[in-house]
Chain A
């Protein structure tokens, strides 16, 4: 077989792999077919890797083997992390993907020197800039999610100007290299500046904005892979990158809509930092608090309960206790559902995965648009570790920083119970009028412990 036919066979394998990738995403449309989707993706990926190993250009397999083993040794534990660590794991995998794309782009540049055509240099520079900034940006995001770095936004005066200047510098260096690709000493400078920009891009963004940022970084990681496909003229990479890029983009749009904010506002607004315009009316407002015993009595006598989980439930690791509460209430004949806000948690779909991990059936997890019409007929809305996504000020108070954001309308339920550590507002510092309603009972305490107490009361009391 001459090399050309072998190459064509490899290309054919890539084509099949890419078709399987599209099927994989197609089957992800419902949980019933999703497992088949993963299998299709695995077969496609294995086919592409095996075909590549037959490429005649490969003269030495030693380092490939070593690197594949290292990749497996790192990848398997990253596949087995605890479900609560999924957001930071995801951020880390964006970092790895972008690192790989950047490394390959850098290697290509040095291999092609000194003759790099202009359009090739445009592709390489763009690819390396996006790959590098996504790498460091994702590392910062992972650090914030793992709480190695502070979750609150880190800002200073003139920050946007400085950040954009750094990005501008990277672009200028890239332009210079397009016309003078032989000035190879500038290339590492461009990489370095892009790496710095990635750090500056994510440090000013607060924890509550992480769902959007993770989605956006996902999109960038996909884009860098697609651009790499342009550089190497490899259509499998172009397609996989385009799929990943559009997925991240769609998720970012969904997240932004769910917060009623624009991309620019998320990236440059440093949400949750300056809330100087705190509530003008500082009059004493009273809240009603209740004990676990009272809460248990109300829940036990309810016909319908909607539980609204938020990031606080994840922090307190309360999802398994919540499942016990769900089981106890179901046994008493109470109809229990979960109302899920798109930005609850730290990444898209975060709450669904945590609840699924605790064995709560997914047909009980209802998204915002479907659950909102049900609140007026709901006896009890039980809010566990969620705050802003239930804040009625988003609908009524034009001065509120979250005005216009779609919320879960728990205030329409007959009784609202909120499990919260204390009355102190979250780091976004936005006051929640929900807590002062006559129908609202505040349940002060740790989410996990308090839900445990309610379960004990329910078991003992009746």
Chain B
């Protein structure tokens, strides 16, 4: 099982470096949408929640899993909606007067 730990560490470190490089380039204009978008992406924990909830190991794990599904799915849905709304508002002087 420790080999999983090592391979996960590999993935974590490399992903963190990609994250630093990519996010460094995000315009300060868009820092609020950046936060709401990463929130929506982070809501990918919903996939783990779905499995915990659905494999029905015990009542406790199903209940906790269901709470986790609801919490993370609301983040996913809400996060994408609000990011999209915010980005639609960003216009330049050129696009404003066609």
Contacts and interface: CB of A to CB of B under 8 A. Distances in A.
A71 B23 contact: no
A97 interface: yes
A247 interface: yes
A226 to B, nearest CB: 6
A357 interface: yes
B47 A342 contact: no
A239 B15 contact: yes
A301 interface: no
Given A45-B41, A242-B16, A103 B71 contact: yes
Contact of A246 (B1, B4, B19, B80): B19
Interface of B: 1-2, 4-5, 8, 11-12, 15-16, 18-20, 22-58, 60-62, 64-96
Q: For chain B, what secondary structure do more than half of its interface residues adopt (helix, strand, loop), or is it mixed?
A: helix
A240 interface: yes
Of listed A72, A81, A243, residue having the most chain B CB within 10 A? A243
Contacts of A61: 54
B38 A222 contact: yes
Contacts of A34: 30, 33, 87, 90
A251 B61 CA distance: 35
Interface centre among A214, A235, A357, by most chain B C-beta atoms within 10 angstroms, is A235
B11 A100 contact: no
Interface in A19-46: 21-22, 24-26, 28-31, 34-35, 37-38, 41-42, 44-45
Contacts of B33: 28, 34, 349, 353
A342 B55 CA distance: 46
Interface of A: 14, 17, 21-22, 24-26, 28-31, 34-35, 37-38, 41-42, 44-45, 48-49, 51-53, 55, 57-61, 63-64, 66-68, 70-72, 74-81, 83, 86, 89-90, 93-94, 96-97, 99-101, 103-104, 106-108, 110-111, 117, 119-120, 123, 214-215, 218, 221-222, 225-226, 228-230, 232-248, 250-251, 254, 340, 342, 347-350, 352-353, 356-357, 359, 361-365, 367
A70 B73 CA distance: 9
Contacts of B43: 45, 97, 100
Closest 9 CB pairs of A and B: A79-B81, A71-B73, A349-B31, A246-B19, A75-B74, A75-B77, A58-B54, A67-B69, A349-B32
Contact of B15 (A71, A94, A97, A238): A238
A216 to B, nearest CB: 12
A359 B45 CA distance: 35
Contact of A361 (B23, B28, B93): B93
B70 to A, nearest CB: 4
Contact of A78 (B52, B82, B83, B96): B82
Contact of A349 (B34, B41, B75, B95): B34
A160 to B, nearest CB: 28
A245 B12 CA distance: 10
A326 to B, nearest CB: 11
Given A218-B38, A246-B20, A49 B46 contact: yes
A251 B77 contact: no
A99 B75 CA distance: 11
Residue of B27, B38, B52, B75 with most chain A CB atoms under a 10 A cut-off = B38
